[in-house]
C-alpha cells in the first residue's frame, strides 16, 4: 500500500527545494550582473590625486571587494577644481562617459578662497553630474605638516562643501588626523611633508573604496 501522506510530504519538500534553488539563482544572476557592469570613476585633481597613482590603488582595493572598477584621470600640478572647469575637458568627459562617480580634489583649502572654490565650483560639477546621473564626491585631503595647525579648517571646509552640494564626502584627511592624534606617528606623509607615502596612499585608497561601498548599500 502506498503512503499518500509521505508522498505529499516529499512533493512539498521538493517544491521548497526547487523554489530555493530558483531564488538563489536569481540572486546570483543579479549579483553577477552588477559585477560584470562594474563601477566607473572620473578623478579630477592635482598631484594629491596622481601621486603614487592613487586611482590605480583604488582600483586594486576595489578588486579585493569583488568590484571591477575602471577610471579616467584628469590631474595637473597645483590645479584647483575651478582650473579644470575653465579648461573644459572635464565637462566633455562627464557628459560623454556617464560615470558612476566623479571624485574632485584640490589643495587643502583651509582658507576662505579655497573654501569658496570647493563650494561654488562644486555647484557647477554637481549640476553637470545630475544631468549625467552621476554622483559627485569630494576627496578630502590634508595640510602639509608645516601648516598642520590649519587641519580643522581643511576638514570643516570639505564637510561644508559636500553638505551644501549634496555630494559624497570621502574623508581621507579626517581619517589621517584621527590616526595622527591617536598615535603621534606621521608615517602617512611622504619625505616632503605634504604628499603621501606609499602607506598613506594605500590608506587613502582604502577610505575612498570604503565610503563608495557605503553609498552602494
Query: Do 47 and 88 belong to one domain?
Result: yes
Query: Do 15 and 82 belong to one domain?
Result: no
What pTM, to 2 d.p., does this model score? 0.83
3-state class (DSSP) for residue 30: helix
Phi-psi region of 98 (alpha: psi -120 to 50; beta: other; left: phi over 0): left
Q: Which residue, chain included where needed, has cell 562594474?
A: 38
Query: Do 28 and 86 belong to one domain?
Result: no
Query: Do 132 and 118 belong to one domain?
Result: yes
Nearest to 197 by CA among 217, 180, 216: 180
Residues 6+ apart with CB under 8 A from 38: 67, 68, 69, 70
Query: Do 100 and 191 belong to one domain?
Result: yes
Query: Do 33 and 129 belong to one domain?
Result: no
What is the tally of structural domains in the chain? 2
Residues facing residue 114 across a β-bridge = none
Query: Do 157 and 147 belong to one domain?
Result: yes
The sign one gets for the Cα dihedral 179, 147, 57, 197 is: negative
How far apart are the C-alpha atoms of 113 and 153, rounded to whole Å?
Answer: 12
How far apart are the C-alpha atoms of 161 and 165, rounded to whole Å?
Answer: 6
Model confidence pLDDT, tens digit, residues 118-175: 999 999 999 999 999 999 999 999 999 999 999 999 999 999 999 999 999 999 999 9
Predicted pLDDT of residue 190: 98
Predicted pLDDT of residue 18: 53
Query: Do 144 and 206 belong to one domain?
Result: yes
Model confidence pLDDT, tens digit, residues 72-131: 999 999 999 999 999 999 999 999 998 999 999 999 999 999 999 999 999 999 999 999
C-alpha cell at 164: 551644501
Q: Binning pLDDT at 50, 70 and 90, where does residue 13 land?
A: low
Q: Provide the residue range defining the domain that includes 7.
A: 1-37
Query: Do 139 and 175 belong to one domain?
Result: yes
CATH assignment at residue 140: 3.40.50.1110
Judged by average pLDDT, the poorest of 1-15, 184-198, 200-214 is 1-15
Query: Do 104 and 118 belong to one domain?
Result: yes
Query: Do 49 and 26 belong to one domain?
Result: no
Phi, psi for 164 (deg, rounded to 5):
-65, -30
Query: Do 48 and 28 belong to one domain?
Result: no
Q: What is the mean pLDDT of residues 36-48?
A: 90
Amino acid at each position: 500500500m502506498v503512503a499518500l501522506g509521505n508522498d505529499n510530504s516529499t512533493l512539498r519538500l521538493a517544491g521548497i527545494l526547487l523554489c530555493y534553488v530558483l531564488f538563489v539563482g536569481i540572486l546570483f544572476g543579479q549579483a553577477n550582473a552588477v559585477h560584470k557592469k562594474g563601477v566607473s570613476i572620473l578623478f579630477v585633481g592635482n598631484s594629491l590625486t596622481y601621486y603614487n597613482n592613487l586611482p590605480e590603488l583604488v582600483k586594486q582595493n576595489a578588486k579585493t571587494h569583488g568590484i571591477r572598477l575602471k577610471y579616467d584621470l584628469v590631474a595637473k600640478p597645483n590645479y584647483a577644481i575651478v582650473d579644470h572647469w575653465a579648461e573644459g575637458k572635464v565637462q566633455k568627459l562627464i557628459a560623454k562617459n556617464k560615470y558612476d562617480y566623479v571624485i574632485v580634489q584640490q589643495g587643502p583649502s583651509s582658507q576662505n578662497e579655497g573654501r569658496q572654490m570647493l563650494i561654488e565650483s562644486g555647484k557647477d560639477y554637481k549640476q553637470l553630474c545630475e544631468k549625467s546621473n552621476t554622483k559627485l564626491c569630494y576627496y578630502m585631503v590634508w595640510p602639509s605638516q608645516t601648516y598642520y595647525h590649519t587641519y580643522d579648517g581643511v576638514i570643516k571646509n570639505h564637510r561644508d562643501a559636500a553638505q551644501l552640494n549634496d555630494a559624497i564626502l570621502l574623508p581621507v584627511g579626517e581619517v589621517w588626523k584621527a590616526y595622527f592624534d591617536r598615535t603621534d606617528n606621521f608615517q602617512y606623509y611622504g619625505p616632503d611633508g605634504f604628499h603621501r607615502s606609499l602607506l598613506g596612499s594605500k590608506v587613502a585608497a582604502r577610505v575612498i573604496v570604503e565610503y563608495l561601498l557605503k553609498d552602494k548599500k
